[in-house]
Amino acid sequence: MSKSLGNIIPAKEFLDKYGEDITRFYIGSYHYREPIDINEESINQAKENYRYMKATIKTIVN
């Protein structure tokens, strides 16, 4: 990975694009020794999983 090749995403840019909650959920879903492969498909899946989790918690609490 190299900044000059353009295949990295700065943390600030990722946060601005996806928000804090999705970023935490996405990064937290990986094992700490596992490399994180950032791609749109896995981010979209994390978004759906996060929304599902929040809806489930909301249903349980209410």
pLDDT digit string (tens) for 2-46? 667 777 888 899 999 999 999 999 999 999 998 888 889 999 999
What is this structure's pTM? 0.76
The span from the CA of 41 to the CA of 49, in Å, is: 12
Question: What is residue 26's DSSP assignment?
Answer: H
pLDDT value at residue 38 = 85
25, 50 contact by CB (below 8 A): yes
